[in-house]
A and B are shown apart, each in its own frame.
Chain A
Amino acid sequence: MTLRANWGTDTGLVAEARQLHETLLVVNGLDASDFADGLIPNLRAGGVTANLVTGLRDGVRPLTTVASPHLQFLRSNQDTLVHATTVADIRQAHREGRIAIVLGWQRTDYLSEGLDNLLGFHYLGLRSSGLSYNVGNYVGSGCVDPEPGGLSHFGVEVVQELQRLRIVVDIGGHCSEATSFDVLEVTDGPVVCSHTNPRGLRPGNPRTMTDGLFRAIAGRGGVIGITAFNFFLVPSGLATVDDYLDHLDYAVRLVGAKHVGIGLDQIIGRVIAGPVDPRPFPPEAYPPRYEDWIYPEELSDFTGVPLITAGLLSRGHSDEAIADIMGLNWLRVWEEVWGE
């Protein structure tokens, strides 16, 4: 494995962490990066085996054709990656030294032509879905809506159909707490929050999640993924890997190591600049310019992921807890929901 140059001298704790990281099955619960050629080597460099990427959509629109560039990308990189739809696929990829890509959505706005289309998206590989993205839609309300509310009738149908098709229901984070708690009322079994940060460490940012919802998701056997988005980690200035570890630690103290994962939410390869649309991205939740949508330097791509393992080790987490947080928790929930 290639670790980045600033990984440091190969002695003591660093050596131990490197050794441990190489034994892990590392899973990232949410990635918003481009489907581009650099992605696979970057994941490999960070020792990440499985990566859930937002795909199967055309920007913010539903797929207009099943000839999706995402599917084309997966198909044309079969030598290095696996388009995973089962946990068995992920384990096999790990054994073979390949990267497993899982496809998910961050919103259900892609079902405007009808709920029946969800079956088709499941066939295309959809295995996880958020509900609303920051602002309300026909399913429920979003985290930045001035007044949040519960699910709509269609929203109830959507989450129940997701469960029937054994697609992971992803709440919290982008969708409002009111909608999230409503989802818990009308679903069974584990649900997740693929990528958020604790409100307790980032008060005032509505995109983060309350302790109550952390506990509720964990109480259902789910997992909460922690993002490395700079502005969710710290209100100003540059966040560090230590800040990221603080967020992981907070979550672990709150709900235990069986219910926390990484959901780094990076945007590798996406060239965006200029002012953001304040309606879905108000300044209390997101930096108002895309130039400031950054990550701690070492976590701006996947090569720094081993530093998370090292940090957890240095903070005294057990090898078992580290293995869970770095990937096995996602696999446990995915296996339970997907059924294979």
Chain B
Amino acid sequence: MTLSRRGFLELSGSGALSATLGLSACGGESGAGAGSDGSDGRPPVIDGSVPLASPDRGPEAVNGHLAAVAASEILCAFVPIATIEHFEASLRNLLAMHRFSAGAGANWTLVRRVSEFNTLRVGRAGVVPCFQGLQMVEQDIELIRGFKELGVGVMAITHNWKNWNGDGCLERTDLPLTGLGRLAVREMNAAGVLIDLSRAGQRTSLSAIDESATPVVFTHSNVKSVRDHPQNVTDAQIDACAARGGVIGLSAFPTLVTDRAQPVLDDFLAHLDYLLDRVGPNHVGLGLDFDDRPRKRYARDPLPDPPYAYPQGLSGPADLDNFRQALEDRGLSSSERDQVMGGSLARVLREAWAG
């Protein structure tokens, strides 16, 4: 079944949404217990932006892409459930993801606790459902708790454009968080949601970093000093994010890597080197963002049309070994390499989720 917005709002925060919607409370208290945080082994490789597994593509595409992801040893995928969709579409997509996870052919599982990382293995990826914007919440920030109950573990304050909380990185204005935006940040903190600022405007993101009680992430953004693009982060954003314990996930999305028509791996690595030098591996992760869909909303948006020319040598999950090799070539220790590959994102998930 589904629920009206009003019905959802009434149950939001009650803990009764899963049962009302006929979902098993996956990742409940009895979830995989060994170790609390994967500390008994290496952290999983995490990709902080996997739109090719978004549920509106249908179960075959989702299962197929997550199989490819898992084969490349990416064990945890942040999958966008919604960006600028309204409430009904967002809930529909989220329920579809739950349905697919329980369906035949789904060799993957939804992840709600860091402790569940222990159950992931090659061939069985974990999915963290994400909102890459808060359009669906509108002014009812109480809905955040309800969506968290249904497994949405990462939420972006806004997606490229302006909403009730603040400005997006492609907007005409660059204002700090609104009053409601500050409350939304606190609500996400209280609900145990990791805050994503990747598509937020510069000043909105800085005020969100300041407002948040727990570290935040830019799940898929590169370095503005290396490639001047509004979705990439300035030194001020990088420094503020890292100073509060946050993580920047490097994106392979071509226009964020370089202005050249065909990027190569070294273009991508220039962003890695900048971040390693400036803030170190504890604040670097991956949000590779392999995608094939149009992203423009307005003609003036500085976004290319598909097909996207991903960097040669990093054009899909199967190329991840090239990146591993580059980390080794840079002389990073094993534990530092693990941080970049997923340990840093696992750390901020643990802090935001409180377990």
Interface residues of chain A, those whose CB is within 8 Å of chain B, are 60-61, 64, 109, 112-113, 135-141, 145-147, 149-156, 279
Contact with A along B156-186 (1 / 0, CB 8 A): 0000011110010011111110111001000
- Tell me if B179 and A135 are in contact (CB < 8 A): yes
Q: Residues of B within 8 Å of A, CB-based: how many?
A: 28
Assess the A145–B178 pair: CB atoms within 8 A. yes
Q: B176, A154: Cβ atoms under 8 Å?
A: no
Question: When the two chains form their complex, are residues A152 and B171 in contact, meaning their CB atoms are under 8 A apart?
Answer: yes
With beta carbons under 8 angstroms apart, the residue of A112, A135, A155 that contacts B162 is A155
Q: Let me know if B118 is at the binding interface, CB within 8 A.
A: no
Q: Which residue from chain A places its CB closest to the CB of B135 in the assembled complex?
A: A112
Which residues of chain B come closer than 8 Å to A112, judged between CB atoms?
86-87, 135, 138
- Residues in chain B within 8 A of chain A (CB atoms): 4-6, 86-88, 135, 138-139, 161-164, 167, 170-176, 178-180, 183, 297-298, 300
Q: A138-B161, A145-B179, A279-B180 are in contact. Are A152 and B138 (CB under 8 A)?
A: no
* A109/B172 in contact, CB under 8 A: no
Residue of B nearest to A179 (CB): B173
Give the chain A neighbours of B180 by CB distance below 8 A.
135-136, 279
Tell me which residues across on chain B come within 8 A of A151, comparing CB atoms: 172-173
- Bound-complex Cα distance A153 to B160 (A): 10
Q: Is A152 within 8 A of B172, CB to CB?
A: yes
CB closest chain-A residue, reference B162: A152
A101 to B173, CA, bound (A): 37
**A109: B residues at CB distance < 8 A:** 138-139, 164
Residues of A within 8 A of B173 (CB): 141, 149-152
A-B contact count (CB 8 A): 73
A-B contact pairs, 25 of them (CB 8 A): A64-B6, A109-B138, A112-B86, A112-B138, A113-B86, A135-B164, A135-B179, A135-B180, A136-B164, A136-B180, A138-B135, A138-B164, A145-B178, A146-B179, A147-B175, A147-B176, A151-B173, A152-B162, A152-B171, A153-B162, A153-B170, A153-B297, A153-B300, A155-B162, A279-B180
Chain A to chain B: the 9 pairs with minimum beta-carbon distance, closest first: A152-B162, A149-B173, A149-B175, A136-B178, A138-B163, A113-B86, A153-B298, A112-B86, A279-B179
- B164 x A150 contact (CB < 8 A): no
Contacting residues, chain A, for B88 (C-beta < 8 A) = 113
- Given A109-B139, A113-B86, list of 16 further CB < 8 A pairs? A112-B138, A136-B162, A136-B164, A138-B161, A145-B178, A147-B176, A150-B173, A151-B172, A151-B173, A152-B161, A152-B167, A154-B162, A155-B162, A156-B172, A279-B179, A279-B180
Determine the residue in chain B with the shortest Cβ distance to A148: B175
- Nearest chain A CB to B297 CB, angstrom units: 7
A279 touches B183 (CB 8 A): yes
- What residues on B are CB-neighbors of A139 within 8 Å? 162
Distance between A295 CB and nearest chain B CB, rounded to angstroms: 27
A155 to B164, CA, bound (A): 12
B206 to chain A, nearest CB (A): 13
A140 CA to B163 CA, complexed, in Å: 9
Expressed in whole angstroms, the Cα–Cα distance for A146 and B176 within the complex equals 9
**Cα(A217)–Cα(B297), bound, Å:** 31
Q: CA separation between A314 and B163, bound complex, in Å?
A: 48
CA distance A151 to B167 in the complex (A): 11
Distance in angstroms between the alpha carbons of A98 and B175 in the assembled complex: 48
**Known contacts A109-B138, A153-B297: A137-B164 contact under CB 8 Å:** yes
- Do A150 and B179 contact each other (CB < 8 Å), given the known contacts A112-B135, A136-B164, A137-B164? no
What's the Cα separation between A149 and B201 when bound, in Å?
13
Please, how many angstroms separate the alpha-carbon atoms of A150 and B174 in the complex?
A: 9
B183 / chain A contacts, CB cutoff of 8 Å = 279
Q: Which residue of chain B is the closest to A178 with respect to CB atoms? A: B173
A153 touches B172 (CB 8 A): yes
Contacts of A147 in B (CB 8 A): 175-176
Q: Is B172 within 8 A of A137, CB to CB?
A: no
- Residue numbers in B under 8 Å from A64 (CB-CB): 4-6
Nearest B residue to A136 via CB reads B178
**B138, A135: Cβ atoms under 8 Å?**
no
How far apart sit A300 and B114, CA to CA, in the bound complex (Å)? 59
In Å, the complex CA distance between A210 and B298 comes to: 33
Q: Are A150 and B178 in contact (CB under 8 A)?
A: no
Cα distance, A36 to B86, chains bound together (Å): 32
The one of B4, B5, B172 in contact with A150, judged by C-beta atoms closer than 8 angstroms, is B172
CB neighbours (8 Å) of A154 from chain B are: 161-162
CB neighbours (8 Å) of A155 from chain B are 162
Cα distance A262–B27 in the bound complex, in angstroms:
59
Give Cα distance in the complex from A154 to B298, angstroms.
Answer: 9
User: Considering residues B135, B170, B173, which has the most beta carbons from chain A within 10 angstroms of its beta carbon?
Assistant: B173
Q: CB < 8 Å: which of B86, B87, B170, B175 contacts A141?
A: B175
Cα–Cα, bound, A152→B180 (Å): 17
With both beta carbons as reference points, the residue of chain B lying nearest to A151 in the complex is identified as B172
Return B162 CB to nearest CB of chain A, in Å: 4
How far, in whole Å, are A61 and B8 apart by their CA atoms in the complex? 14
